[in-house]
Amino acid sequence: SRARSPSMATSRAAFALAHAPQRAVRAVRAPSVARAHGEARMAMKMRRLHGVGSRRTFARVVAHAAPAWPWASDVYVRRAADAPVVRAKPAVGHASALSVAPMMEYTTTHFRVMCRLMSKYAWLWTEMEVDQTLTHAVEDGTRVDRFLDYPVATAATVLQLGGSSPEILGRATAISAPYGYEEINLNSGCPSPKVAGKGCFGAALMMEPALVAECLAAMAENAPDGTPVSVKCRIGVDDVDGYDDFCRYVETIVAQSPTRRFYVHARKAILAGLSPAENRTVPPLRHDWAYAIARDFPECEFHLNGGLKTLNDVSNALTRGPADGGRIHGVMIGRQAHADPWGLLSAADTEIYGAESNPCPSRRVFLQRYAEYADENIGRFGTAKDGYRVPSVRHMMHPIQNLFHGCANNKLWRRLVDEELQKRAKRPETTVASILDATLVAISDEDLDAPPGAAGVDAFDIDRDWDLPRRGAGYLAR
């Protein structure tokens, strides 16, 4: 996991934050797996014999690709000795009908590149960056780029901040301003003990709506002109879980800050007794509450998060909600984007945004483009003391580990990747392209060249009996 403690020594913090170690799992080959290895390799030999699916072809395409991945720090940040930092805001003209939710240790820069290659229009979110991490990075002289920089091709990205001090959140927002994020968001919904417990922010902030409003006002004051400041929240927390409580939370923010955009995870958070994973499944989903709060605050923009998994769910949530409910402006999906990125995102542009085509016509083309990005940026921050480049080949391979979800030999491919990384991840000549060349033996041409397609099991029930809460009626999120 990524170390975030501001009290660590500068060198140790810089190393830990830049180089999140990945656990290598030793592969144990059962006889059936060994046979599968042999069969897959034999199939690859036959394809090479007939000139089909050659790994040399893949490597050749990648090797001759021109560098195409400038970073925000190069494009948007202009530094001069006697002038302030100047920011050029990226032009994004589409609405965030679909957002990929912020997820710690998942929505890294490289994960977001993967998502953007699959969809031009879905909005992407950073991991939560703790406000004190950014302010201490500046004070200690470490490179803030390691926390805030991103390839400009992934524009339409939301920066999520965590904290509970208006002053520090304001400073963190000012530090992030030159990087050109499309939106700045305050985390008021994370139930992790490290965040809501010791950190006293995240979901714990829902008990103090006036403080949330003060934090949002400070962030808006320090954000670039035209950049919205939003909040991500639950519908309640612990015993503060009535619909009236939720309305007071929104009402206070609207009255005391410029924020009008809310991302609502339609479950309450239970801070004592449930893990973060359990908080995503145990408290009951109340999609009704999201439509009700949108009805009661029509001047605001609400996005629905929680339990939705497919592009059909996105479309249905936007267009087939309750007749007496308010408008939902967008849908946020998190874990499914990691579990099956191709199944969620590869067809999103045509299915959700009405585009004529999708960015990548196949997984093979996607891998060629992703390898171009990865191999251009491996070691961008140098080499760590343990010999791994920062970012490492392993970092770059992590986001695409579920690319072949549902395909034959998916587990075999992942095993082969792990074996290759264990053998040669530290070698300077090792690239993502070379790892793919050595492991795609396991995947058939049919799966590599299959066109984009939506996948997954729909979770949004369009035939449900809606029960929208109303103020003063005693509704509880239990």
Q: Among the residues of 280-340, which ranges form H helices?
A: 287-296, 311-319, 335-339
Closest of 96, 95, 97 to residue 315, by C-alpha:
97
- Cβ neighbours of residue 154 under 8 Å, at least 6 residues apart? 109, 112, 113, 115, 116, 124
Instruction: Give the Cα separation of 264 and 458 in Å (integer).
Output: 20
Radius of gyration of the chain (CA): 23
Contact 367, 61 (CB under 8 A): no
Write the DSSP assignment of 82-133 as a string of letters.
TEEEE-------S--SEEEPP-TTTS-HHHHHHHHHH-SSSEEEEEEEEHHH
Identify whether 200 is a catalytic site residue: no
Render 404-447 in DSSP notation, one character per residue: TTTSTTHHHHHHHHHHHHHHHTTSTT--HHHHHHHHGGGS-HHH
Cβ partners under 8 Å of residue 23, min gap 6: none
In sequence order, what DSSP letters do the residues of 453-474 get, joined into one string? ---S-----TT-------TTS-
Q: Which is catalytic among the residues 115, 190, 247, 360?
A: 190
For the annotated catalytic residues, the residue numbers are 190
